[in-house]
Structure 1
Amino acid sequence: MKNLLKGAVIVMGLFAATSVANAQQKIGHINADEIFQQTAEFKTATATLKTLGETKQKEIEGMVSELQKKEKEANDLMLNQSEANKAETQTKLQTIGQEYQQMQARVQEVQKVAQEEVAKKQQELMAPIQTKVMNAINVVAKEKGYAYIFDTGSGAAVYYGGGDDVSADVKTKLGIK
């Protein structure tokens, strides 16, 4: 009986010690996307991507303009078609139709390639910024003794009942005012 009582006291002591240790873990939260978007590098990358997108869009618009000219040319031929030039007009319309289809396929290909280029450039520019922000979060967590930091912006934290918002510390670490 004494051994049973001693065992129960030891188990309760260990449970109490574990509860105290767990209660002392610091938990914080942050909105990493918000901080990510406030970095100078993000603003520069966004401007670069916007310029690239506009350049690609102008290129595609030029090609669409050429398509519209072909379409107008075909419409004009059809309007000016007569019995005397019917055979010649039909031959020209077939040629224009083939050129139009080729141009249309080229426009679609250029659009696809442009989207891929912009996506690749976005990944190339944004990945280092994400790494930099994550490294800053890790450094702040270690410096401040946090056991967990939940990202409230990504939905990774289903619930957080307070905790410390370490956004200001991470912004300071990144040089964001």
Structure 2
Amino acid sequence: MKTVHLTFAAALLVVGSFFAPAAHAQAPLKIGYTSVEYVLSQMPERKQIESDLKTYSSQLESQMKAKQTDFQTKLDAYQKATQGGTPMTAVVKADREKELQTLQQGLQEFSSTAQQSLQQKQQQLLSPALDKIQKNIDLVANENGYTYVLNSDAGSSPILLHGPKDGDISDLILKKMGITPTAPAPTPDAKPATQSPATKTPAAPATAPTKAKGKK
């Protein structure tokens, strides 16, 4: 399992649309936007989220490696016995093969559930920070008369493809949280950066009792 790099844009898909209701229905329509990913990247909580997620990922990786080692050890022993001509009854051989198949199936299932567990952990860690952002979006929108606030991050809904710079309230949100931006807010019509793929758990060996390829 590779080192986890927190991908904020992908994680923010669970947030949905950010809409701030108008203080008065008769007020002129005023639309603003913000990059939730950018705001989140400026928050001090980000480093702790990344650290906690990396720790959790390492725990899953250790479990995966232990299961792989157990499978590989028993596979090697089986192949050594069969290739070396060691006497083995049909019952014993069938039992060994069944054990290897069960272990391999367990590896494949763990690989899948580990990915799901990692995504759930990421959402759990992000939830308090996203709630904080939402609260401050509402405050800034109400204080400045914005009828709607859109999320300009690629992959989110709604998505802003273009907008005036004075409609970006990202820095106002950070200011409301007492944070001084350390990087300029992204422009809404800029081409989004390519996202890194989600961390993958190591793949299980192909089939038992064929020896797995790759590093042990």
TM over 0.5: yes
Partner of 1:33: 37
Structure 1 contact 77–89 (Cα < 8 Å) conserved: no
Partner of 1:175: 178
1:95 aligns with 2:98: no
Residue type of the alignment partner of 1:66: D
CA drift at 1:162: 4.1
% identical aligned pairs: 26
Question: Structure 1, residues 5-46: CA drift from partner, whole Å, max 9, x if none?
Answer: xxxxxxxxxxxxxxxx74xx5433221121123222233122
Partner of 2:64: 60
Q: Distance in 2 between matches of 1:162 and 1:37?
A: 20
1:122 aligns with 2:122: yes
Partner of 2:166: 163
1:45 aligns with 2:49: yes
Q: Distance in 2 between matches of 1:152 and 1:116?
A: 27
Count matched residues: 151
Consecutive unaligned residues of structure 1, counting only runs of 5 or more, are: 1-20
Question: Structure 1, residues 122-151: CA drift from partner, whole Å, max 9, x if none?
Answer: 222222211110111111111222233332
Q: TM-score, normalised by structure 2?
A: 0.61
CA drift at 1:48: 1.0
- Secondary structure (helix, strand or coil) at the match of 1:149 reads strand
Q: Distance in 2 between matches of 1:162 and 1:170?
A: 15
Q: Distance in 1 between matches of 2:84 and 2:91?
A: 14
Q: Distance in 2 between matches of 1:51 and 1:76?
A: 37
Q: Distance in 2 between matches of 1:149 and 1:110?
A: 41
CA drift at 1:109: 3.3
Larger radius of gyration: 1
Q: TM-score, normalised by structure 1?
A: 0.72
Q: Distance in 2 between matches of 1:107 and 1:73?
A: 18
CA drift at 1:97: 0.9
CA drift at 1:108: 2.9
Q: Distance in 1 between matches of 2:73 and 2:89?
A: 17
Structure 1 contact 78–89 (Cα < 8 Å) conserved: no
Structure 1 contact 28–146 (Cα < 8 Å) conserved: yes
